[in-house]
Amino acid sequence: MTISRREMIQATAAAAGALALPSSKSGAPVPPLPPVPPKFFTPAEFALVDELSDMIIPTDQQSAGARAAGVAAYIDGRLAESFEPEPPQRWRAGIQAVEALSREMSGTTFMESTPAQRLALLTRIAAAESDPKTDAEKFFKEIKGGTIRAYYTSKIGIHDDQQYKGNVIQPGEYAGYDAT
Amino acid sequence: MTLIRFKASQEQDVDLARTYDAIVVGSGAAGGMAAHVLTSQGMKVLLLEAGKKIPIEQELRSMEWPYDHPRRGEAPPGYHAIRFNEYTVRKPPYAKGSAFKHVFSYVGGWGGADYVKNILVDEKDHPYTGTRYAWVRARLLGGKTNIWGRLALRLSDYDFKGKTHDGYGEDWPISYADIEPYYDKVDLYLGISGHKENLPHLPDSLFQRPNKLTAAEVKLRKSLATMGRTLTPYRAGVTTDGVKHNKYRSKCFGRGACGRRPGGCDIHAAFDSPTGLIYPAMDTGNLTLRTNSIAHEVLVDPHTGKARGISFVDAQNHRTYEAKAKVVILAASTLESARLLLLSKSRQHPNGIGNASGHVGHNFCEHVMGPGVTGLVKEMVGAPPTLDDGKPGGFYVARFRNLEDKQPGFIRGYGFEGGSGFSIFPDSAWDTPGFGGQFKKSVREHAGAFISMGGFGEVLARYENYMDLDPEVKDSWGIPVLRFNYQFGDNEKKMCEDMANAGKEMFEAAGIEVVGVDKNILTEGWSIHELGTARMGTDPKTSVLNQFQQSHDVKNLFVVDGSSHVSASCQNPTWTIMALAWRSCEHLADEFKRGNL
Confidence (pLDDT) at B244: 94
Share of chain B above pLDDT 70, in %: 98
Which is it for strands B367-376 and B513-518: parallel, antiparallel or unpaired?
antiparallel
Chain A residues in contact with B254 by the CB 8 A cut-off are: 169-170, 174-175
Same domain? B167 vs B128 = no
Point out the domain boundary residue: B107, B135, B163: B135
Classified as helix, coil or strand, B123 is coil
Confidence bin at B5 (pLDDT 50/70/90): low
From the list A126, A158, A179, the residue facing B424 with the nearest CB is: A158
pTM: predicted TM-score of the whole model, two decimal places = 0.94
Give the structural domain span for B96: 59-135
Check if the beta carbon of residue B349 is closer than 8 Å to that of residue B355: yes
Share of chain A above pLDDT 70, in %: 81
Confidence (pLDDT) at A1: 38
From the list A6, A122, A177, the residue facing B427 with the nearest CB is: A6
Would the CB atoms of A4 and B254 count as touching at under 8 Å? Answer: no
Confidence (pLDDT) at B108: 85
From the list A7, A161, A163, the residue facing B111 with the nearest CB is: A7
Share of chain B above pLDDT 90, in %: 95
Residue A109 lies in a domain: yes
Q: What's the half-sphere exposure (Cβ side, CA atoms, 13 Å) at A161?
A: 33
Interface check A57 vs B, CB under 8 A: yes
Residue A33 has pLDDT above 70, yes or no: no
The pLDDT of B340-347, averaged and rounded, is 97
Chain A, nearest residue to B151 by Cα: A1
Confidence (pLDDT) at A16: 28
- Helix B574-593 / helix B29-40 crossing angle, nearest 10 deg: 30
Q: Convert the pLDDT of each residue in B226-284 to its tens digit.
A: 999 999 999 999 999 999 999 999 999 999 767 777 778 999 999 999 999 999 999 99
Residue B124 has pLDDT above 60, yes or no: yes
Same domain? B290 vs B349 = yes
Confidence (pLDDT) at B110: 74
Residue B428 lies in a domain: no
Rounded Cα distance between A101 and B186, Å, is 65
Residue B306 lies in a domain: yes
The pLDDT of B368-387, averaged and rounded, is 97
More confident residue, B15 or A89: A89
Rounded Cα distance between A16 and A151, Å, is 7
Residue A30 has pLDDT above 70, yes or no: no
Would the CB atoms of B387 and A170 count as touching at under 8 Å? Answer: yes
> How far apart, in Å, are the Cα atoms of A37 and each of A18, A124, B259, B347, B524?
10, 30, 36, 70, 47
Check if the beta carbon of residue B290 is closer than 8 Å to that of residue B46: yes
The secondary structure element, H or E, covering residue A71 is: helix A71-80
Would you say the ipTM is above 0.85?
yes
Confidence bin at A2 (pLDDT 50/70/90): very low
Would the CB atoms of B209 and A55 count as touching at under 8 Å? Answer: no
Same domain? B541 vs B561 = yes
The secondary structure element, H or E, covering residue B87 is: helix B84-89
Supply angle C-alpha B170, A1, B361, rounded to 5.
Answer: 35
Q: Convert the pLDDT of each residue in B291-342 to its tens digit.
A: 999 999 999 999 999 999 999 999 999 999 999 999 999 999 999 999 999 9
Same domain? B40 vs B94 = no
Confidence (pLDDT) at B263: 77
The pLDDT of B340-367, averaged and rounded, is 98
Residue A5 has pLDDT above 80, yes or no: no
Mean pLDDT over each residue of chain B, to the nearest integer: 95
Residue A177 lies in a domain: no
Rounded Cα distance between B422 and B450, Å, is 8
Give the structural domain span for A23: 13-161
Interface check A166 vs B, CB under 8 A: yes
Residue B94 has pLDDT above 90, yes or no: yes
Confidence (pLDDT) at B526: 96
Residue A31 has pLDDT above 60, yes or no: no
Chain B residues in contact with A10 by the CB 8 A cut-off are: 430
Residue A32 lies in a domain: yes
Same domain? B126 vs B69 = yes
Rounded Cα distance between B510 and B219, Å, is 7
Sheet hosting strand B466-474, strand order edge to edge: B129-130, B480-485, B466-474
Would the CB atoms of A175 and B390 count as touching at under 8 Å? Answer: yes
Residue A176 lies in a domain: no
Residue B126 lies in a domain: yes
**How close, in Å, is residue A31 to chain B by CA atoms?**
19
Rounded Cα distance between B235 and B222, Å, is 18
Number of domains in chain B: 2
Residue B414 lies in a domain: no
Q: Convert the pLDDT of each residue in A91-107 to its tens digit.
A: 999 999 999 999 999 99
Q: Convert the pLDDT of each residue in B152-203 to its tens digit.
A: 999 999 999 999 999 999 999 999 999 999 999 999 999 999 999 999 999 9
Residue A51 lies in a domain: yes
Same domain? B124 vs B23 = no
Residue B485 lies in a domain: no
Check if the beta carbon of residue B341 is closer than 8 Å to that of residue B559: yes
Chain B residues in contact with A64 by the CB 8 A cut-off are: none
The pLDDT of B531-559, averaged and rounded, is 98
Residue B85 lies in a domain: yes
From the list B221, B385, B419, the residue facing A165 with the nearest CB is: B385
Q: Convert the pLDDT of each residue in A44-83 to its tens digit.
A: 999 999 999 999 999 999 999 999 999 999 999 999 999 9
Interface test with B, best of A49, A161, A167 (most B CBs within 10 A): A167
The pLDDT of B482-503, averaged and rounded, is 98
Q: Which amino acid is at B454?
A: G
Confidence (pLDDT) at A18: 28
**How close, in Å, is residue B515 to chain A by CA atoms?**
13
Report the 10 Å Cβ neighbour count for A107: 10
Give the least confident one: A10-19, B19-28, B270-279, B326-335: A10-19
From the list A1, A56, A173, the residue facing B435 with the nearest CB is: A56
Would the CB atoms of B454 and A1 count as touching at under 8 Å? Answer: no
**How close, in Å, is residue B492 to chain A by CA atoms?**
20
Selection from B352, B363, B301, B303 nearest residue B330 by Cα? B352
Residue A7 lies in a domain: no
Q: Report the DSSP beta bridge partners of residue B52.
A: B140
CATH number at residue B35: 3.50.50.60
Point out the domain boundary residue: B85, B117, B135: B135
Would the CB atoms of B113 and A12 count as touching at under 8 Å? Answer: yes
From the list A2, A11, A129, the residue facing B83 with the nearest CB is: A11
Residue B2 has pLDDT above 70, yes or no: no
From the list B151, B217, B436, the residue facing A55 with the nearest CB is: B436
> How far apart, in Å, are the Cα atoms of B361 and each of B160, B336, B351, B544?
21, 10, 11, 10
Rounded Cα distance between B120 and B111, Å, is 14
Number of domains in chain A: 1
Would the CB atoms of A173 and B417 count as touching at under 8 Å? Answer: no
What are the DSSP calls for B124-175, one per residue? TTS--EES------B-BTTGGGGT---B-----HHHHTHHHHHS-S---SS-
Residue B493 lies in a domain: no
Would the CB atoms of A11 and B78 count as touching at under 8 Å? Answer: no
Give the least confident one: B97-111, B337-351, B384-398: B97-111
Report the 10 Å Cβ neighbour count for A165: 18
Same domain? B125 vs B166 = no
Computed over its alpha carbons, how large is the radius of gyration of chain B? 23
Would the CB atoms of B437 and A11 count as touching at under 8 Å? Answer: no
Rounded Cα distance between B335 and B357, Å, is 18
Residues shown for chain A:
180
Rounded Cα distance between B323 and B340, Å, is 15
Residue B503 lies in a domain: no
Report the 10 Å Cβ neighbour count for A167: 19
Same domain? B343 vs B285 = yes
Same domain? B41 vs B66 = no
